[in-house]
Structure 1
Amino acid sequence: MELFKKISLCLPFFCLSTITYADWVSDSVKNTEAHTIQMRHHLHQHPELGNLEFKTSAFVQKELKSYGIEVKKGFAKTGVIGILKGGQPGPVIALRADMDGLPVEEKTGLAFASKDKGIYQGKEVSVMHACGHDTHTAMLLGAAKILAANKDKVKGTVVFVFQPAEEGGADIDNLTQINEIGSRKMISDGALNNPKPEAIFGLHVMSGMPVNHLYYKAGAILNSADNLRVQLNGQQAHGSMPWLSHDPIVASAQVINNLQTMVSRRIDLTQGMGVVSIGSIQAGTAGNVIPDQVNLLGTIRSNNEGIRQQILEQLPEMIQSTAAANQVKAHVEISPYSPVTMNDNALTEAMIPALEKAVGKEKLHLLEHNASGSEDFAYYGKLMPSLFVFLGATPTDHDMSKAAANHSPMFIVDDATLKTGVETHIRFVLDYPNVAEQVQSAWKNNKS
């Protein structure tokens, strides 16, 4: 049953007829909630790794077609595009969800916990939706169902973007083939060409934030992320005779220490922050043998594009010079994964009323700082005004500071928050046409 509100306008000599309108959005979200949760449970129980989301893709296509939405496929291997033409003239906008799971063994104990396996980098692993992409897909499908059923109220065209491999590919080298997956591949494959959106929206569930609360900020909302791989090649010798070696172990220690000075001594930290972390060191087979090779894997993060570029440009020389000082040769590979995810200033400001409609002022929060993670959603923001917001995932009766983080085997999303995600997508669609002209004008002025 829809919720109706009435407005009566009386003047001194007459009364106008009563105007009745329906708050159909909240009512529709409530009526669709059970289906959205059911879809989420199914997707959570059957996660698939990045670039291998074949069953998930088929599920999305089937759902969209059942709503009467035009479906296009053939993008980024498993990506899906849904197109809904509204009943009224207006702009083309996009809503995006990611679909991939992670190589993590689930330990939540949920009734619908994943027990599935997959092949990650040639090895069998457990697979889990440990970052909430199951909820993203289900919420966007829920919004698509409602919008399709009410397309007469939609101004313009909605492009539903279901993207694979946001977390990277399970079947590729994520350093040398990173352009072949995720949002970059969706873009290069023409997923957003016909029709071409003029703005794009996305959201992400976050642990440590209470359910049904939304968080936003203009400008940088997530850090950049770039992958680093270093191979140090020296000369093997017996551990008792190090003078016969060119020791890559000692060289690697000095490289790691020097990398920390890249930020602390070279970066203007009044402009933002930077992080260079080494997470994997592989070398040697015995304690009394100095090996001839050491392999390092790391990550580079920043919330400022200028700082990011400075690190990317200066890092290889620092590593190679440090290696040379130890008579070791260094092979350095840096793979750009994602720029800083930037929320367009004009779009963010213009959509605050839409966010307030979705949750109310008391549950809408302005972030003081960006989050430390990263998102390849950033590439869409290079093409058009974009807005990315966070949706609380942790039950309100939990200690937010102790909630298992995204990517943890204990990570959970409270089903109660799904309805807010669905409504937020719908509010984006309904409210954007009212501010489209001013947002596009600001975008063009900034680009000129």
Structure 2
Amino acid sequence: MTSSLPVIDERLLEQLINFRRNLHEFPEVSGEEYDTSQKIQDQLTQYGIPFRAGYAKTGVLGIIKGGKPGPTVALRADIDALPITEKTNLTFSSKKEGKMHACGHDAHTTMLLGAGILLNERKDELSGTVLLIFQPAEEASPKGGAQPMMDEGVFAEFEPDVIFGQHVWPDLPVGQIGIRDKEMMGATDRFKVVIKGAGGHASMPHQTNDAIIAANHVVTMLQTIVSRNINPIDAAVVTIGRIEGGYRYNVIADSVSLEGSIRTYKKQVKEVVKKRFYEVVENASKAMGATAQIDYIDGYEATINTPEWAEVVRGCAQQALDSNTATPNVDPSLGGEDFSRFLHKYPGAFFWLGSAIEGRDIQKPLHDPNFEFNEKALPIGVKMLVDVTEKALEKLQNEK
């Protein structure tokens, strides 16, 4: 079918904005989204959308069965907040110290709810099933919430033929959609290294083995992995984000800990970086007479779109926004995304919803205590989810 969805009426839009602001005022971080989950369930109940709850503790699955049999399309929104103290001074700023929706998950949840309401109103016209996945713990890498939901049978009865996810994006203006045929976001591994030497008095270094000197060599050598082992055409980043060691100014340190992150897109690039990481850390430490304990954690996989479904998103955006400039060329991000776990198992696409605040030369980025979501993007996000769902159902039906 061709979407004939009208513009969201003002009453529903007002309800959605109020719902989003309530979520923003009372954020809950990963693993604690109990009130958020209950609010979602209450809304689904109010609008007559069947659901099941309790996946990964607080996850919710809304189920909209169309009037005719057909394929299954899944839509996902993350519901957790971040451990950040908000500094926006909005009238609906977080009332919970040290917790904030600084990544737009309150908007994602609201837009999925809005799309579910509209799709449920026209369910008799749909051929197939629509799954509304409200996922917890997206920010809790490396475990996340996507894999636990799947492990606990969120798709036991209805398995998606395709899955879509949407994320607010302050680097794009309202009215634009960011979509790529393949790489959208990166794999996000992390590590902690403890370098062990031998401490002593600063005046007698010959009696010690300075762990700080060894750590310096390790940090310097790690930067050669990308510059000398990875094809310049490919992307990879090795970042040391935290260093801790030593006791006081006149004591040579016997131990230094390093923590950081590795970002890649291609699986084979990740494998090379990981292998070289171990070699560099162990051998550079050994060369300085120290030892290294490595804790390497494989995080989210790269978020890789299925080209045919990315094209569906692109077409829906250009039609909904009535402009070929609605989908500008965008670069992928090396930020991580738990949606990658869904895309690893099912075809689909992840796209960015332009949400920049007008009139600002510098937009506050995601995960910033001053981040703000432009609510003018909310009805666009709702419409995108509805249009993409209807187009996907139509495409799958025709293919069958």
TM-score for both structures, normalised by structure 2: 0.95
1:213 and 1:363 in contact (8 A); partners too: yes
- 1:303 Cα shift? 2.3
Corresponding residue number in structure 2 for 1:335:
297
What secondary structure does 1:27 align onto?
coil
Corresponding residue number in structure 1 for 2:125:
153
User: After the TM superposition, which parts of structure 1 deviate over 3 Å for at least 4 consecutive aligned residues?
Assistant: 21-24, 27-31, 437-440
Corresponding residue number in structure 1 for 2:329:
367
2:83 and 2:100 in contact (8 A); partners too: yes
User: Which of the residues 66, 72, 82 maps onto 1:92?
Assistant: 72
Amino acid aligned to 1:415: E
Corresponding residue number in structure 2 for 1:389:
351
- Give aligned-pair identity as a percent: 34
Corresponding residue number in structure 2 for 1:190:
153
Unaligned stretches of 5+ in structure 1? 1-20, 118-125, 169-173, 441-448
Q: Which range is displaced more, 59-68 or 134-143?
A: 59-68
- 1:359 Cα shift? 2.0
Corresponding residue number in structure 2 for 1:204:
167
Matched residues in 2 for 1:129 and 1:63: separation?
Answer: 20
Matched residues in 1 for 2:372 and 2:67: separation?
Answer: 38
Matched residues in 1 for 2:358 and 2:276: separation?
Answer: 45
User: Which of the residues 48, 52, 59 maps onto 1:72?
Assistant: 52
User: Which of the residues 36, 53, 57 maps onto 1:56?
Assistant: 36
What secondary structure does 2:86 align onto?
coil
Unaligned stretches of 5+ in structure 2? none
Matched residues in 1 for 2:379 and 2:245: separation?
Answer: 49
The number of aligned residues is 400
Cα gap change, 1:421 to 1:331, in 2 (>3 Å): same
User: Which of the residues 353, 356, 360 maps onto 1:398?
Assistant: 360
- 1:23 Cα shift? 7.0
Amino acid aligned to 2:133: V
1:411 pairs with 2:371? yes
Corresponding residue number in structure 2 for 1:138:
110
Amino acid aligned to 2:175: N
Amino acid aligned to 1:219: K
Corresponding residue number in structure 2 for 1:164:
136
Cα deviation, 1:352-403, whole Å, max 9, x if unaligned, reads: 322223322245224242123121111111111111111111123332xx11
Q: Which structure 2 residues correspond to residues 109-120 of structure 1 after superposition, within 5 A?
A: 109-117=89-97
Matched residues in 1 for 2:106 and 2:228: separation?
Answer: 42
1:303 and 1:370 in contact (8 A); partners too: no
- Structure 1 or 2, whichever has the larger Rg, is 1
Q: Which structure 2 residues correspond to residues 8-407 of structure 1 after superposition, within 5 A?
A: 25-28=5-8, 30-117=10-97, 126-168=98-140, 178-179=142-143, 181-270=144-233, 272-399=234-361, 402-407=362-367
2:76 and 2:165 in contact (8 A); partners too: yes
2:104 and 2:373 in contact (8 A); partners too: yes
1:155 and 1:430 in contact (8 A); partners too: no
Cα deviation, 1:179-204, whole Å, max 9, x if unaligned, reads: 3x321212222222221111100111
Amino acid aligned to 1:244: Q
- 1:212 Cα shift? 2.7
2:73 and 2:393 in contact (8 A); partners too: no
Matched residues in 2 for 1:53 and 1:374: separation?
Answer: 21
2:244 and 2:256 in contact (8 A); partners too: yes
Of structures 1 and 2, the one with the larger relative CO (CA 8 A, separation 6+) is 2
Matched residues in 1 for 2:163 and 2:208: separation?
Answer: 56
Matched residues in 2 for 1:193 and 1:327: separation?
Answer: 54
What secondary structure does 1:190 align onto?
coil
1:33 and 1:419 in contact (8 A); partners too: yes
1:425 pairs with 2:388? no
